[in-house]
Structure 1
């Protein structure tokens, strides 16, 4: 069988819902795309954990402090689980963990931007700083809802080890969002909360990427993505509005 025939056979296999199970049986282009997906997840989880760590000392009580500590810990654990998968592709785990200052943030008033910064693959929203407990809670709810939309799609991806890890992670990410929502309900419709919602809504919306994306088409053909960016964004916006409206926050 020729290389072209091999490529066509694999493309058909993936298009029909086939799964790949190890680095040894993935072709180069697929390898590059799945590593990029995993790096974005790992970097975002590490940055999310590092950024939220400061919120522990902003927490207004013991229960809130425990919730913030749990979110900080579990996001770091999620990053390590996927980084272990990257290690199987040859990634140096120890070097990777130290590659960036995960707690670093840019100016609060910086305009949202989709592009990556150097080798740092975190989503752009994780370059924006948190300003206090209310801000951390709002961001956690809105980004938590976005994360669930994306992970529910990726948990069906064609790279089976990644899909399995993400299915394990999903319930904990859902609980992180629920903990944030409990905190937001206690905060209520304050001016600070409304300002925070107005700040984070467009920044979280940008994390889904452009409505038209050649890269999505490639990932869909490889079975790594199923749902396009705009569909995910619309689903998130509907959920976010349904969450915020009863609280008087939009």
Structure 2
């Protein structure tokens, strides 16, 4: 207990940890949850996008989509290896969950998770064609950028370093999505607004409940710096700016 308390004080003062053997039980539980959510979301996101690759309107679009699938899977593997340091069965992980499983399009589970895995709720919804996938990737890409900025400063050093390496890769995915939206609009696509209206609240829900009371305890452990509400507001502002620039209405 004395050792745990000294570590808690160390973390509260901005200290970092780098060895699983030095991690207190409660810290370990929250760290594993953070990593599992990221890994499961990346694998589920990659699985959903893989089904869309051959719907790309051209070779360049299909190459970009395939690259996104590859890189999201690689990002998941990078963090999964850190989970392995804590005893996760990394060999079994990739085949243990139905990553391509999706709910009905009209479902609305808010911030809830399904029984399958720890993926963010947004990755339980199906994509409806190329344009819909590009819009989802645009909005979620901006959300990931906000989350990466947050998680790149976590107090577990190996994970922070992994997220800092992942951040520019995910940022490029959002850029590719924006380029894809611009190209669709140039070719007269008229269904983008419907996709924005569908995905906006579902991506917003990926930041969790704004009424969560865990922020302070996570801040004390160095696993968070901002509240869910603050992160969501940051995304709304950044994603809203992008949509306005593209000439697409920001949902109310």
For normalisation by structure 2, the TM-score amounts to 0.95
Q: In 2, Cα distance between the equivalents of 1:123 and 1:191?
A: 29
User: Which of the numbers 15, 35, 53 marks the counterpart of 2:12?
Assistant: 15
Q: Give 2:68's aligned residue.
A: 71
Query: SS in structure 1 opposite 2:97?
Result: coil
Q: Give 2:104's aligned residue.
A: 107
Q: CA offset at residue 93 of structure 1?
A: 0.9
Q: In 2, Cα distance between the equivalents of 1:112 and 1:238?
A: 24
Q: In 2, Cα distance between the equivalents of 1:221 and 1:203?
A: 29
Q: In 2, Cα distance between the equivalents of 1:208 and 1:80?
A: 23
User: Which of the numbers 46, 49, 54 marks the counterpart of 1:49?
Assistant: 46
Q: CA offset at residue 217 of structure 1?
A: 2.3
Query: SS in structure 1 opposite 2:81?
Result: helix
Q: Give 2:225's aligned residue.
A: 226
The range that moved more, 149-158 or 117-126, is: 117-126
Query: SS in structure 2 opposite 1:214?
Result: coil
Q: CA offset at residue 15 of structure 1?
A: 1.3
Query: SS in structure 2 opposite 1:207?
Result: helix
Q: In 2, Cα distance between the equivalents of 1:165 and 1:246?
A: 32
Q: Give 1:87's aligned residue.
A: 84
Gaps (5+ residues) in structure 2? none
Q: Give 2:210's aligned residue.
A: 211
Q: CA offset at residue 207 of structure 1?
A: 0.4
Q: CA offset at residue 12 of structure 1?
A: 1.7
Q: In 1, Cα distance between the equivalents of 2:118 and 2:100?
A: 14
Q: In 2, Cα distance between the equivalents of 1:238 and 1:187?
A: 23
- Contact 2:98-2:116 at 8 Å conserved across structures: no
Q: Give 2:161's aligned residue.
A: 164
Gaps (5+ residues) in structure 1? none
RMSD: 1.1
Indicate yes or no: 2:100 matched with 1:98.
no
Q: Give 1:196's aligned residue.
A: 195
Query: SS in structure 2 opposite 1:210?
Result: coil
Q: Give 1:145's aligned residue.
A: 142
Q: In 1, Cα distance between the equivalents of 2:240 and 2:111?
A: 23
The CA deviation string for residues 5-32 of structure 1, in whole angstroms up to 9 with x for no partner, is: 3333212211111000011110111111
Q: Give 1:248's aligned residue.
A: 247
Query: SS in structure 1 opposite 2:115?
Result: coil
For normalisation by structure 1, the TM-score amounts to 0.96
Q: CA offset at residue 219 of structure 1?
A: 1.3
Q: Give 2:152's aligned residue.
A: 155
